[in-house]
Amino acid sequence: MIRQTAAALLLAGSVAPAKAGQPIGESMVACGALYSVAAEWVSPGSAAERLTQAAEVWAAAAYTRAEREGRSDPRVWVSDLWRSKCNDWSEKGTAYVFSQDFRDWTAYCRALARHEGLETGSR
């Protein structure tokens, strides 16, 4: 599903949620959590720092989006969902970076970042 969504985004030039009906804020949290966990999967250094910085950009954007989406407590919502998404990504293990699903998610996240005007440092 993510592969098809990422392909559609690239072809259409617009961004749709990763799952049908999923709010963009949730997708932002998923992307940020993925970058955060991926930073733990690489050797310490510039790559880990770039991933961590990108995760911070996603966290801030997710908070802003959660406010716009009318979440009653955006900070708590982002924090709770972030923790859950990090657990989900972590459970996949480091070998996940070699999967098509990982490539699809990162392509989706890059497209979403471009659409939202986020400077995550990933291209």
**Tens digits of residue pLDDT in 9-35:** 443 334 444 554 689 999 999 999 999
Task: Give the pLDDT of residue 21.
Answer: 62
Residues 6, 8, 10, 12, CA torsion sign: negative
**Tens digits of residue pLDDT in 31-55:** 999 999 999 999 888 899 999 999 9
Cα 72 from Cα 78, distance rounded (Å): 11
Task: Give the pLDDT of residue 44.
Answer: 86
Task: Give the pLDDT of residue 122.
Answer: 63
* Whether pTM exceeds 0.85: no
